[in-house]
Amino acid sequence: MVTDVLTATNQDEVYSSNRLPGYFFLGDFYVMLEIIDKLPPRGTVIQIGTFLGRSAKFWAELFRQQNKIYNIICLDTYDNTADDVFNQHLRSKFAGDIATVTSFLHKKKTNLEIVIDNLKQYGEIQHYVYDIFVNSPEDIQASNIVCVFDDAVHTRQGVKQSFDSWFNRLEYDGIYCGHDYSLNFLEVMETVNNIAAENDLKLQLPRKDSSMYYLIKKRV
Ligand SMILES: C[S@@+](CC[C@H](N)C(=O)[O-])C[C@H]1O[C@@H](n2cnc3c(N)ncnc32)[C@H](O)[C@@H]1O
């Protein structure tokens, strides 16, 4: 349950007590910790592709635990476009788990309402309805962006669009990271490899049990 996270006393418990449905796993959680360790004490994270808020919640919780003061800006279309196959996957994976899944499947609430419910205890999170192919990063007012996390569109075009939009807004020494660098998402792998090579950035893939990658923006 969401509230369990607040009373958990160590990181394994934080992870295992979190039942919010979504696409973010234990290995990812440890890569996120590694990234947070490298970030400055204050800043802003741009999270692109929020779904019901699972990874956003981990950002918020881990920043708190590490005594770092962060704004988390969540961007998603929040458009309830999930199809039946996707809903079936959710139902089988999280069957009977929490009320938000039921609400989601029955579309009693919009995704945006659900995600705000899930994350309202974290005052530092803001949500913007944002389509990477439509909106420009200038549409979002934010300063001191030291981390961008992309988990939105898993195509060549999507990965490149997110990077081209947001890398320029990232502070030097900031971290651009993303999810699904894996054989299941060959377009993500290929595009991230190209981005790293073209921009002379060192691709970091810290754990075999995580599809998270990251790139540190060097000073020029
Ligand atoms: C894999 S899910 C994100 C999972 C999430 N990070 C989690 O922890 O569960 C991908 C999300 O990207 C969003 N998305 C899809 N197309 C998008 C677009 N063009 N712009 C922004 N977000 C998009 C979807 O609405 C979906 O919520």
How much distance in Å is there from the Cα of 189 to the middle of ligand 1?
17
DSSP per-residue codes, 133-166: TT--GGGS----EEEEEE-S--SHHHHHHHHHHH
**Strand pairing category for 213-216 and 125-129:** unpaired
State residue 7's pLDDT score: 37
Q: Which atom of ligand 1 is nearest to the CA of 52?
A: 9
Record the tokens describing residue 69, joined without a space.
Answer: 């003061």
Q: How wide is the angle at C-alpha 136 spanned by C-alphas 131 and 199, nearest 5°?
A: 105
Q: How wide is the angle at C-alpha 216 spanned by C-alphas 40 and 75, nearest 5°?
A: 75
Record the tokens describing residue 72, joined without a space.
Answer: 């988390």
What whole-number distance in Å separates Cα of residue 100 and Cα of residue 115? 9
Q: Which atom of ligand 1 is nearest to the CA of 135?
A: 20
What whole-number distance in Å separates Cα of residue 142 and Cα of residue 155? 26
Q: How wide is the angle at C-alpha 29 spanned by C-alphas 28 and 30, nearest 5°?
A: 90
Q: pLDDT in tens for each of the 220 residues of the chain?
A: 222 333 334 555 555 556 677 788 889 999 999 999 999 999 999 999 988 888 999 999 899 989 999 999 999 887 755 444 555 555 565 544 444 555 555 556 677 887 888 788 888 899 998 999 999 999 999 999 999 999 999 999 999 999 999 999 999 999 999 999 999 899 999 999 999 999 999 999 999 999 999 999 998 7
- The sign one gets for the Cα dihedral 65, 70, 76, 80 is positive
User: What residue type is 124 in one-letter code?
Assistant: E
How much distance in Å is there from the Cα of 219 to the middle of ligand 1?
30
- What lines the ligand 1 site, CB under 6 Å? 22-24, 49-51, 54-55, 75-77, 130-133, 151-153
State residue 24's pLDDT score: 86
What whole-number distance in Å separates Cα of residue 99 and Cα of residue 82? 18
pTM for this structure? 0.87
Domains (ranges, CATH) in the chain? 25-82+111-216 (3.40.50.150)
- The sign one gets for the Cα dihedral 47, 78, 23, 159 is negative
Burial status of residue 127 (CB atoms within 10 A of its CB: 0-12, 13-18, 19 or more): buried
Q: Which atom of ligand 1 is nearest to the CA of 24?
A: 8
What whole-number distance in Å separates Cα of residue 36 and Cα of residue 146? 10
State residue 122's pLDDT score: 86
